[in-house]
A and B are shown apart, each in its own frame.
Chain A
Amino acid sequence: MTHKPGCQKTTVKMLLTGWLAVLMLASGSASAELLIRITEGAGSAVPVAVVPFAETGAMPPGDKVSSIVQADLTMSGEFRTLEPSKMLSLPSKGSDVYFRDWRMLGQRYVVVGELTRSGDRVQARYELFDVNQERRLLGETAAAGVGSIRTLAHHISDRIYEAITGAPGVFSTKLAYITVSGEGDQARYRLQVSDVDGKRAQVRLESREPILSPAWSPDGKKLAYVSFETGKPAIYVHELATGQRDKVADFSGLNSAPAWSGDGKSLLMTLSRDGNAEIYQMDLASRKTTKLTDHWAIDTEAAWDHADKGIYFTSDRSGGPQIYYMERPGAEPRRITFGSRYNARPRPDSKGEYVYYVHQRDRAFHIARTNLKTGDETVITRTESDESPSVSPNGRLLIYATGQNGASVLTVVSADGGAAYSLPASDGDVREPAWGPITR
């Protein structure tokens, strides 16, 4: 095993931002919903005006499509939206757009649209304009059931985001996470799935014992997770549409840290049935396991690289936890992190550019990332007791859990650390976020 000490340059970039904004999206219903609070915006955010859509016919109660689109674009950290009260006009179609108005307000893009109710469907017609070039970039329609206004709005956000940035939007993706309320005998653990903005949260599993490590299957239809419901950690695969569960690993010792292969056919997992924590691969159809590491150290938290060829994992074989990489399953691991004495839980992005992980600096635990080409390490969070990083499927955002006033909350940051966005739970702790895949 070769080490390459000193080949990695560590930079700490704590990006301070231009402005602070607080936006509360009121939740109409269940206590399981998360409130969203923007804590910092990126200085380079592009101004975009989303004009409230004209409405024909009765619209369901709840947030308006345009305010959901506004919130989505703001959450990305790449846009700054304009308060409707500041708009000089409220066009609903391209022919009514006076670009001079929008230039005066400093906007680079403007979105206009109309919603039409027809029976139990709502149809949206929307257009996106480049203000300076006075050019239409997008003109489309989309429709959804009257109970799925949020789905419709997130779709529109995705289309706008892609048209401007060229990258796929993640506004229609889901989050899985664990909430904990109560203590001791009264503790209740809940595995929940929500929209990316924390809305429409649904409990999928409730238990008196801990639930850990939710992991999305690549098709977004299943979650693997660790549950202590039998008194010790076991791995389950849970089909979301039916609620059906399979207990796939319940060997003696640990059964933990499940991670899906890109084809959805196997799970990486940490088992200690041979005496200490090692990484295995389990074929889900046959339940056959293959041992991939063989070392007296703790080897855990495995994740496939973007090409599904190699595996990143945490090992303390050099004394404390560090990130390692095997180029193919079972190959001799190579150490990736050197900059501090604690680096764990690697999560590579889907493009092979960066790997994200928990990183100790001085006495604080941050999220950092290493550039896989240059080896440069950057700390991307300013909070100090950070855990469980999960990258968005387009590689642009990162969600993680952090301690705040004695409770655990979820925070979304730009993957380069530029903007931050906090999702406090309305009751108890929220932890272990897992960002779901794009499913279109």
Chain B
Amino acid sequence: MKLTFSTKVFAMVLTAGLVAGCSSTGDTMDGEEFGSDVRAIGADEGSTVYGGADGEGISSGMLSDEERQTARERAEQQALRDITTFYFDFDTSEIKQEVRDVLVAHARYLANNPRQQVRLEGHADDRGTKEYNLALGERRANAIQRFLVVNGASRGQIETVSYGEEKPAVRGSSESAWAQNRRVELIFQ
């Protein structure tokens, strides 16, 4: 999985935040509040240890495996959510297998951010008739909407509209142009 630049920055900021939060906010705890085994390590060592001598302390100078795991997952989810256009085969509204993970990531994000509104815009390639294509674009947008709702988003967060064949992404009458036009676009409001 390739990390985009923004994802890398995000990961770095996350890490920096964890470090910064622990050593500079002035809420270092006096030993008296947390028990006698607490000691502050000098700032040049970049970390402060809390907790008892039994070794349960969380080191925050560098990410632990767990933290690294969470950061990686978040970065993956972010990368998945970078994908906001979903493509379809001719005359169907079937969601492709490879797109499901992306949609699940979006659904989870929406579930966790209930005030986030999105719009799904459905499209079709220009073959066949305009009115049927208008209905087909709608069916594709509705299929994506249903999938998002089943995976955690709420209906009220999602608006759908179809443009049929009226707003192609790519002009032309080739298989390549048609394939790029059979799509639903997810737009954050």
Q: Which residues of A contact B (CB under 8 A)?
A: 183, 210, 212-213, 228, 231-233, 253-254, 256-257, 270, 272, 276-277, 298, 300-301, 314, 316, 320-321, 342, 344-345, 358, 360, 365, 385, 387-388, 403, 406, 432
Contacts and interface: CB of A to CB of B under 8 A. Distances in A.
B139 interface: yes
Given A232-B161, A320-B91, A345 B138 contact: no
Nearest to B172: A406
A365 to B, nearest CB: 6
A276 to B, nearest CB: 7
Contacts of B55: none
Contacts of B134: 212, 233, 254, 256, 300
Interface in B156-176: 161-164, 166-167, 171-173
A254 B162 contact: yes
A346 to B, nearest CB: 10
A233 B172 CA distance: 24
B138 A257 contact: no
A277 B135 contact: yes
B128 A254 contact: no
Nearest to A276: B139
Interface majority SS on B: helix, strand, loop or mixed?
mixed
B136 A385 contact: no
A298 B167 contact: no
B128 A360 contact: yes
B10 to A, nearest CB: 31
Contacts of A316: 91, 132
Contact of B132 (A232, A276, A301): A301
Given A342-B91, A385-B127, A406-B172, A314 B132 contact: yes
B129 interface: yes
Q: Which of B166, B167, B172 has the most CB of A within 10 A?
A: B166
B130 interface: yes
Given A231-B161, A232-B161, A321 B132 contact: yes
Contacts of B127: 365, 385
Nearest 9 Cβ contacts at the A-B interface: A277-B135, A210-B166, A298-B135, A345-B129, A344-B129, A257-B131, A301-B131, A344-B132, A232-B161
B138 A228 contact: no
A360 B132 CA distance: 14
Contacts of B128: 321, 342, 344, 358, 360, 365, 387
A213 B91 contact: no
A252 to B, nearest CB: 9
A269 to B, nearest CB: 10
Contacts of B131: 212-213, 256-257, 270, 300-301, 314, 345
Interface in B125-154: 126-132, 134-136, 138-139, 142
